[in-house]
Structure 1
Amino acid sequence: MIRIGAFLVGLFFAGWLLVSFLVGAVAFVTEPPAKTVEHEFHLNPKHVSFSFDGPFGKYDQAQLQRGFQVFKEVCSACHSLKFVAFRDLKGIGYNEAEIKAIAKQWAIKTPDVDPKTGEMSTRDPIPADYFPKPFANNVAAAAANNNAIPPDLSLMTKARHHGSAYVYSLLTGFQAQPAELLKEFPDAKTPEGLHYNPYFPNLNLAMAPPLTADGQVTYGDGTKATVDQMSHDVAAFLTWTAEPKLENRRRAGLATIFFLLIATGLAYMAYQNIWADKKKAA
């Protein structure tokens, strides 16, 4: 009886799921979802290539340093890198003295406690410190950015599909709303204080275009700092902040594949050697 009851209960739920599926399918065919402005005008990230693309790709340290300079001089005014310490910059080619100088000259001081009075104070960052946040708290961040809190960028390229290309596309994608959009969706005009960008999911974001003109940053290596170049460089740098061990991981993966190929070959030869006489006898 218990088995029969369990079978009937399972049959009931299976039938209910089938009916629900059929009802949903019929509703989708007879009343398809209405087109939305995001569905019609949201674009996938641009196709852009980086030195670290592919299984054998490697970071270009000169590009990473240029990207760090763009972050330092432009992005750090609003965005944080809370999972990156100054000493981590050794991974993009800076030596100990340079890292100390970068930390000491950082525009934002590090919160600290006065050991004598116990009161809150600030001090110059040191290499062991993580990059300071540009705002004291989320309320201050929202108040300075049209009520939107700028996200931390440490892991941004891992948090977005096609992360590196997404960052590049977003930075180079600010534009005026197309006339076609306003003609088809009159109520979809970008609200005051927001900025139209077809690479952002809902097309409008609070961040104003951060890279507005060529030469906004002066590169130390003489590279021409066009908007496209700066966007490309900072996207590469943010890929490194999210995956600083990318090259090591790929090397380990290739070594593992090579080892498995050899082990497979040895196992096959051992199999042939052990079972050769048995096959002849059979």
Structure 2
Amino acid sequence: TSKVNMSFASLPRSKKVALTMFGVLTTSGAGIALMLQQSVKASDLELHPPNYPWTHSGMLSALDHGSIRRGYQVYKQVCSACHSMEYLAFRNLVGVSHTEAEVKVLAEEIEVVDGPDESGEMFTRPGKLSDYFPKPYSNPEAARAANGGALPPDLSYIVNARHGGEDYVFSLLTGYCEPPAGVEVREGLYYNPYFPGQAIGMAPPIYNEILEFEDGTPATMSQVAKDVCTFLRWAAEPEHDQRKRMGLKLLMGSAILVPLVYYMKRHRWSVLKSRKIAYRPPK
């Protein structure tokens, strides 16, 4: 310690100030990071969602596109009654979960108000690939009035907008239970330990055999929640698979390029870097 003190004392004043400022900034940054970490932790009554082993969570793992297709079916038959996905168009499904012909059929099932026509009148037409998913309510006020004052959030980017991502959404969908002793929930609300405040206005949306999957997969509660979470992950990050493919290509390219760069550094430039230049004084 005495050696360290002596070496610090022997430093110039400018370096002492720089080291002191660096220490202060480092300590402040660590304190702020600790405070932020504590702020996102669950409280005593609010459970923190566990980390589930998603098949797409690996560095080189792609999304399960069969699960995306089933997840869209869950959204269409269950979630779309209250929740919108205003940033997702039918064309986004082409080549991901459905063929173009299948998506055209899905789009034509809705009626879209379009116009004006040649006479200046608005008209309705079947949906097209370029149309966005229909909204369940015409405006936020109507949504609040139909849900007891609560506004159902848009699900386009919900897994990125919530701490925990799909882990949180999965835990929320499957976490409904009876309130513990001493906890009272107001009428019209439901107890969910994963929701902030534990009282949520959304009734339990899924249960076993709530629907029948087209591919015959058993529609258990966990399977339904898993598939809709996978669909929401794709909706929030449609470039997920492409990003990981680009990362793999980058790793493969680096595996070839790095040895070449090392060879150039070690065997080509070492001669130039180690040479000595001797100057002869003028006679």
Q: Same fold (TM over 0.5)?
A: yes
In the alignment, is residue 197 of structure 1 matched against residue 201 of structure 2? Answer: no
* Counterpart in the other structure of 1:44: 48
Aligned match of 1:208 in 199, 203, 209? Answer: 203
Q: Aligned partners of 2:95, 2:238: CA distance in 1, in Å? A: 7
Q: How far does residue 132 in structure 1 lie from its aligned partner after superposition?
A: 1.3
DSSP 3-state at the match of 1:146: coil
The alignment-based identity, stated in percent, is 42
Q: Aligned partners of 1:126, 1:40: CA distance in 2, in Å? A: 49
Alpha carbon RMSD of aligned pairs, Å?
A: 2.2
- CA change 1:154–1:140 in 2 (3 A) is same
Aligned match of 1:112 in 106, 111, 114? Answer: 114
Q: How far does residue 59 in structure 1 lie from its aligned partner after superposition?
A: 1.5
- CA displacement 1:16-66 (0-9 Å, x = unmatched): x9xxx9xxxxxxxxxxxxxxxx72111111332222111111122211111
Q: How far does residue 120 in structure 1 lie from its aligned partner after superposition?
A: 4.3
Q: Aligned partners of 2:124, 2:184: CA distance in 1, in Å? A: 44
DSSP 3-state at the match of 1:220: coil
Q: Aligned partners of 2:124, 2:187: CA distance in 1, in Å? A: 37
List gaps (5 residues or longer) in structure 2. 1-20, 29-41, 277-283
Q: Aligned partners of 1:165, 1:207: CA distance in 2, in Å? A: 18
TM-score (normalised: structure 2): 0.78
Q: Aligned partners of 2:132, 2:273: CA distance in 1, in Å? A: 66
DSSP 3-state at the match of 1:92: coil
For 1:25-174, list aligned pairs within 5 A: 39-106=43-110, 109-174=111-176
Amino acid at match of 1:57: S
Q: Aligned partners of 2:179, 2:168: CA distance in 1, in Å? A: 19
Amino acid at match of 1:103: A
* Counterpart in the other structure of 2:246: 252
Q: How far does residue 192 in structure 1 lie from its aligned partner after superposition?
A: 1.6
Give the number of the structure whose residues are more often helix, by fraction. 1
- The question of whether the paired residues in 2 share the 8 Å contact of 1:87 and 1:128 is answered with yes
- The question of whether the paired residues in 2 share the 8 Å contact of 1:46 and 1:165 is answered with yes
For 1:165-244, list aligned pairs within 5 A: 165-179=167-181, 182=182, 189-211=184-206, 213-244=207-238
* Counterpart in the other structure of 1:29: none
Amino acid at match of 1:232: K
Q: Aligned partners of 1:275, 1:137: CA distance in 2, in Å? A: 68
TM-score (normalised: structure 1): 0.78
Q: How far does residue 160 in structure 1 lie from its aligned partner after superposition?
A: 1.5
Q: How far does residue 280 in structure 1 lie from its aligned partner after superposition?
A: 7.0
Q: Aligned partners of 1:231, 1:225: CA distance in 2, in Å? A: 9
Q: Aligned partners of 1:118, 1:189: CA distance in 2, in Å? A: 56
* Counterpart in the other structure of 1:28: none
- Hey, which bits of structure 1, 4+ residues long, moved more than 4 A? 278-282
Q: How far does residue 86 in structure 1 lie from its aligned partner after superposition?
A: 0.5
Q: How far does residue 258 in structure 1 lie from its aligned partner after superposition?
A: 3.0
Q: How far does residue 149 in structure 1 lie from its aligned partner after superposition?
A: 1.0
Q: How far does residue 82 in structure 1 lie from its aligned partner after superposition?
A: 0.9
* Aligned residue-pair number: 238
Q: Aligned partners of 1:65, 1:196: CA distance in 2, in Å? A: 30
Q: How far does residue 263 in structure 1 lie from its aligned partner after superposition?
A: 2.6
Q: Aligned partners of 2:119, 2:180: CA distance in 1, in Å? A: 59
